[in-house]
């Protein structure tokens, strides 16, 4: 959609909101009065349906006690599989290829322990220098467990500008020394979408297994993992999927790998009919469920039930289209209103390369973020100079975007940001 539909007037924002076919979903969420919440790429807001599903699971504990494993509205024994089935359309996978389990970091350890099999000269893992630190920590740990020095055996593709990665550089790094590749689907700072289809094709041409950390893409953009042939993926459910702080994460295992014994095993990875046989020989589930470890954290998984129901109603393709228009509109207003204040747009401008957030760079970014919060706008600071702004299509409006940019302009015009120290808070 062309920027020609935009103009800088407040009336334009109201007109766009009136045309928004997804506007009713905003009423599903708890939004603090007087605030503009633009940090859904860090932690999504609570919805009424997520609240209800959490209360439903609490009620099943209250009413059934241990019988809640097989009774009630959401029998706990099969809940991870049920939620995997509900998640599958968001990533383009079969229901049996998806399981809700663990945390992002635990699941990275799981997939690397499973798929990293160094042989001969293929001993290295390929990642990138812009990825979220936990991915690197986990990869370093797994290399050490296999007896390899991470300084030599963890290859990190360099960024040419410190913001984005070039697929050509990643493909060039896919040498015959690489045994496994783990990359982000969307870069957490700049919001760049990597070409997962192309990277998967190139990795497989070289007989390298490849997977993606989808924390910043799940619930924000459509995926087609089965079509692309991706080997595995991990993600959290508390950002765009709005399942709550510390919610249980997700894991995708392509069906072609169901015959592999997971690198890490635990009793909840058992085949369901064998799980309570209490044998000391594991009979793994014949699907992604085999990659579970321990008992699901029921009260941290329950809000996802309601959250995924909302996504089923809204549709990921419609959400993506609104997300793109919201970020286009925000970039248009930034260009029109903030041009003289020293901001740089650090995210890709092209639709096919831009995820769900805008990345503004400014030397006073930490101060500006504090001033925004003082004015009721909730952003996200990323060191050293980044401001992430995520207009989430389920609950943000074009009026939110218009007001947020207006407030940034006022902060800069009146030097409000100078009242604050240019240092990050403990939780940025």
List residues forming the annotated binding site for pyridoxal 5'-phosphate. Answer: 104-105, 132-135, 213, 216, 238, 267, 295
CA–CA distance, 233 with 231 (Å, rounded to integer): 7
Q: How far apart are CA 425 and CA 380, in angstroms?
A: 11
Does residue 34 contact residue 385 with C-beta atoms inside 8 Å?
no
List all residues 6 or more positions away from 94 whose beta carbon is below 8 Å from its beta carbon.
88, 226, 255
Q: Parallel, antiparallel, or unpaired for β 98-100 and 124-128?
A: unpaired
For Cα atoms 403, 409, 414, give the angle at the middle one, nearest 5 degrees: 125
Strand partners, 387: 360, 381
* Cα distance between residue 230 and residue 204, in whole Å: 9
Query: How far apart, in whole angstroms, are the C-alpha atoms of residue 201 and residue 152?
Result: 26
Alpha helix ranges (H) inside 92-121? 104-115
Do 125 and 154 form a contact (C-beta atoms < 8 A)? yes
Distance CA 28, CA 309 (A): 11
Q: Which residues contact 18 (CB under 8 A, 6 or more apart)?
A: none
Let me know: does 143 contact 226? Beta carbons within 8 Å: no
User: What's 358-391 look like in SS3?
Assistant: EEEECCCHHHHHHHHHHCCEECEEECCCEEEEEC
Q: How many CB atoms lie within 10 A of CB 391?
A: 26
Residue in 131, 28, 94 with CA at minimum distance from that of residue 396 = 28
- DSSP, res 186: B
Annotated binding site: 104-105, 132-135, 213, 216, 238, 267, 295
**Contact status, residue 97 vs residue 252, Cβ threshold 8 Å:** yes
Q: What is the DSSP letter of 131?
A: S
Which residues, listed in sequence order, are joined to residue 37 by a DSSP beta bridge?
Answer: 378
Q: Which of 28, 20, 101 is nearest to 312 (CA)?
A: 28
């Amino acid at each position: 959609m062309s920027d020609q539909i935009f103009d800088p007037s407040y009336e334009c924002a109201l007109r766009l909101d009136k045309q928004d076919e997804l506007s009713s979903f905003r009423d599903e969420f708890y939004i603090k009065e007087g605030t503009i919440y633009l940090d859904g790429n860090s932690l999504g807001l609570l919805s009424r349906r997520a609240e209800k599903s959490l209360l439903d699971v609490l009620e099943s504990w209250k009413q059934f006690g241990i019988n809640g494993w097989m009774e009630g509205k959401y029998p706990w024994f099969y809940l991870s599989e049920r939620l995997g089935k509900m998640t599958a359309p968001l990533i383009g996978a079969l229901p049996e290829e998806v399981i809700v389990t663990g945390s992002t970091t635990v699941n990275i350890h799981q997939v690397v322990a499973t798929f990293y099999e160094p042989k001969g000269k293929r001993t290295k893992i390929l990642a990138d220098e812009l990825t979220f630190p936990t991915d690197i920590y986990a990869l370093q740990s797994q290399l050490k467990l296999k007896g390899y020095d991470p300084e030599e055996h963890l290859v990190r593709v360099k960024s040419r500008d410190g913001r984005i990665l070039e697929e050509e550089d990643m493909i060039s790094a896919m040498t015959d020394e690489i045994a496994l590749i783990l990359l982000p689907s969307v870069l957490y700072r700049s919001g760049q979408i990597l070409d997962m289809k192309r990277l998967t094709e190139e990795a497989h041409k070289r007989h390298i297994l490849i997977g993606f950390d989808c924390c910043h893409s799940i619930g924000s953009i459509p995926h087609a993992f089965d079509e692309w042939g991706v080997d595995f993926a991990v993600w959290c459910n508390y950002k765009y999927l709005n399942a709550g702080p510390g919610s249980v994460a997700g894991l995708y295992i392509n069906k072609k790998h169901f015959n592999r014994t997971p690198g890490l095993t635990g009793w909840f990875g058992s085949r369901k009919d064998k799980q309570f046989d209490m044998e000391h020989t594991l009979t793994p589930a014949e699907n992604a469920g085999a990659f579970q470890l321990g008992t699901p954290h029921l009260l941290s998984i329950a809000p996802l039930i309601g959250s995924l129901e909302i996504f089923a109603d809204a549709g990921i393709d419609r959400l993506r289209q609104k997300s793109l228009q919201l970020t286009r509109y925000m970039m248009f207003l930034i260009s029109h209103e903030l041009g003289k204040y020293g901001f740089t747009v650090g995210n890709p401008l092209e639709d096919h390369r831009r995820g769900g957030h805008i990345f503004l760079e400014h030397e006073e970014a930490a101060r500006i973020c504090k001033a925004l919060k003082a004015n009721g706008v909730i952003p996200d600071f990323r060191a050293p100079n980044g401001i992430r702004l995520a207009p989430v299509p389920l609950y943000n409006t074009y009026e939110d975007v218009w007001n947020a940019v207006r407030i940034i302009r006022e902060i800069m015009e009146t030097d409000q940001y100078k009242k604050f120290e240019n240092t990050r808070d403990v939780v940025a």
